[in-house]
């Protein structure tokens, strides 16, 4: 073979090798996926539950109308500070005052009648004693007359007169007994009238007292919806009565918020919270969870589920009360607030960015054979000896939570066990080691990437642009 032929053959072999290498490089770059990454590292985490609500005093009372009438005098204005027992408002009381005076007069008259009845009863007792004494004397005269009449020492006329005198005296005793019983009955009737008139006076006095309103405790007038001259009414069934004013004890202030039903299981009494108020930006107040509601509240209606007659699949919340530790003096009830409750804390624990977490089915993670080898399965697969195909299918559909770790420039799915979630990171209890590089984006890549995919790290690429592309 000539030299030039050998050269041509050598050039041809080199050309073929170049073409094969080029195709290999092209194919490898063709399947290359650009990703953003983060590190599994130790950090301090705090799990936060955020909920919105409004500022409320711990103790407040709506003073409602206890009687029907016109307001003749208001002694306070909205925003005034009042002391316990201080006079707040006065309703017209002409009729109720007259009723009280009439009941007092009736009570005085019944007491006078009782005195007279008592005197009459004492007189009846004296008359009965006198009648019994006369009857005893007449009985002795009659007995003596019987002996004398048997001895024929007195005339029949005198004997009959003694007998009649004794019978008259005996009748007088019976009359005295009856008169005493009548006097006792009159005395009891007088006592009953005193009790009746006393009860009527109590009722009239109560009606009169309800025309005057006094402060039940020290506080601030936070609401005063009425004016002098207005007529107020008491509440009846299905019709609320008039509210004169609201008094609040502003010494203890709370933020009453509604926590989503999915978060309420993590909220407990005594947990610390940070409260922000829309009307006071750039200020944060500290508080403590002091009350947790037991009944769910339907979010759309605000009605407790215990008050509903039918079940509802709507979103529900639970009432949580956070007591502020350092409320400012200018805080007002009704201001919108947001409470961030710290439900758990972890110190120096292994964590990864929350967005690195993803979910795959067991079927997606099964070992797949390829021409260059196989991709190592990162999760348990269905038992190949299992004969029941339906169970195999159900097992293959089970979801596994994990992250994609970069190893040898390829994405490997690693199942993980997680703990509490912070604002941006989540605790990893099992599956990773400190320093592991995990894929954090983009969202599109995390959703579609498969185990064993070759990756290219580019943490400088804008995340939004990567996701939109």
Beta bridge pairs of residue 410? 407, 454
Question: Residue 301 has what pLDDT?
Answer: 82
Taking the CA atoms of residue 326, residue 328, residue 333 and residue 335 in that order, the dihedral angle to the nearest 10 degrees is -100
**In the predicted model, what is the mean pLDDT of residues 114-129?**
91
Listed residue (361, 81, 359, 355) closest to 222, CA to CA: 81
User: Cα 427 vs. chain centroid, distance in angstroms?
Assistant: 32
Q: Which of 91, 56, 57, 58 is nearest to 214 (CA)?
A: 91
Evaluate if residue 379 carries a pLDDT over 50: no
Neighbours of 335 (CB within 10 A): 14
Q: Which two tokens stand for residue 417?
A: 């066990």
Structure token digits, residue 457: 């790290």
- The radius of gyration computed from the CA coordinates of the chain, to the nearest angstrom, equals 50
- Whole-number mean pLDDT of the chain? 84
**pLDDT, tens only, 244-300:** 999 999 889 999 999 999 999 999 999 999 999 999 988 999 999 999 999 888 888
How large is the average pLDDT for residues 26-51?
82
Question: What's the confidence (pLDDT) of residue 119?
Answer: 92
Looking at residue 330, its pLDDT comes to 82
Residue 239 pLDDT more than 50?
A: yes
pLDDT digits (tens, 9 = 90+) for 391-419: 666 666 788 899 999 988 888 999 999 99
Q: What angle do CA 318, 322, 324 make, to 5 degrees?
A: 165
In whole angstroms, what is the distance from residue 444 CA to residue 465 CA? 11
* Tokens encoding 24: 């290999």
Q: How far apart are CA 447 and CA 456, in angstroms?
A: 17
Tell which wins on pLDDT, 453 or 366.
453
**Whether residue 16 has pLDDT greater than 60:** yes
DSSP state of 6: H
Q: How would you label 46-62 residue by residue, b for 16+ Cβ within 10 Å and e otherwise?
A: bbbbebebbbbbbebee
Tokens read off for 345: 């804390």
Q: At what angle do helices 94-150 and 156-209 cross, to 10 degrees?
A: 170
| Residue of 352, 357, 359, 439 lying closest to 400 (CA atoms) | 359
Q: Which of 251, 206, 219 is nearest to 76 (CA)?
A: 219
Beta strands in 148-304 (DSSP E): 212-214, 219-223, 231-232, 243-260, 272-277, 280-292, 297-298
Cβ proximity of 296 and 320 under 8 Å: no
Six-digit token string for 67 = 């009687």
């Amino acid at each position: 073979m000539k030299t030039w032929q050998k050269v041509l053959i050598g050039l041809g072999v080199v050309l073929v090798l170049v073409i094969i290498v080029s195709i290999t490089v092209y194919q490898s770059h063709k399947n290359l996926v650009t990703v953003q990454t983060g590190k599994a590292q130790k950090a301090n985490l705090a799990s936060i539950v955020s909920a919105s609500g409004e500022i409320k005093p711990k103790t407040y009372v709506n003073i409602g109308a206890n009687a029907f009438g016109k307001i003749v005098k208001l002694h306070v204005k909205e925003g005034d500070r009042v002391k316990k027992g201080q006079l707040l408002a006065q309703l017209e009381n002409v009729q109720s005052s007259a009723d009280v005076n009439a009941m007092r007069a009736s009570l005085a008259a019944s007491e006078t009648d009782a005195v007279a009845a008592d005197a009459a009863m004492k007189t009846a007792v004296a008359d009965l004693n006198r009648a019994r004494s006369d009857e005893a004397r007449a009985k002795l005269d009659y007995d003596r007359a019987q002996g004398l009449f048997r001895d024929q020492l007195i005339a029949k006329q005198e004997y009959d007169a003694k007998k009649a005198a004794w019978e008259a005296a005996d009748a007088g005793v019976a009359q005295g007994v009856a008169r005493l019983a009548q006097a006792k009955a009159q005395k009891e009737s007088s006592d009953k009238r005193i009790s009746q008139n006393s009860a009527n006076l109590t009722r009239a006095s109560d009606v009169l007292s309800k025309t005057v309103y006094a402060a039940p405790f020290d506080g601030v007038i936070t609401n005063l919806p009425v004016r002098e001259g207005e007529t107020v009414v008491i509440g009846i069934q299905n019709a609320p009565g008039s509210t004169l004013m609201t008094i609040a004890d502003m010494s203890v202030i709370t933020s009453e918020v509604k926590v989503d039903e999915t978060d309420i299981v993590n909220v407990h009494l005594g947990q610390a919270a940070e409260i922000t108020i829309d009307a006071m930006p750039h200020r944060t107040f500290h508080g403590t969870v002091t009350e947790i509601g037991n009944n769910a509240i339907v979010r759309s209606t605000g009605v407790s589920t215990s008050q509903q007659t039918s079940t509802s699949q709507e979103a529900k919340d639970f009432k949580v009360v956070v007591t502020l530790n350092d409320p400012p003096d200018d805080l007002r009830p009704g201001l919108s607030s947001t409470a961030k409750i710290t439900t758990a804390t972890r110190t120096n624990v292994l964590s990864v960015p929350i967005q690195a977490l993803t979910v795959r089915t067991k079927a997606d993670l099964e070992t797949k054979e390829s021409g260059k080898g196989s991709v190592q399965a990162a999760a348990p697969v269905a038992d190949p000896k299992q004969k029941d195909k339906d169970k195999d299918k159900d097992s293959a559909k089970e979801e596994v939570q994990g992250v994609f770790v970069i190893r040898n420039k390829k994405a490997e799915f690693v199942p993980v066990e997680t703990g509490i979630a912070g604002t941006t990171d989540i605790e990893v209890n099992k599956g990773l080691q400190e320093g592991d590089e995990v894929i954090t984006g983009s969202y599109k890549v995390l959703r579609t990437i498969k185990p064993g995919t070759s990756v290219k790290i580019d943490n400088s690429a804008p995340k939004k642009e990567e996701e939109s592309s």
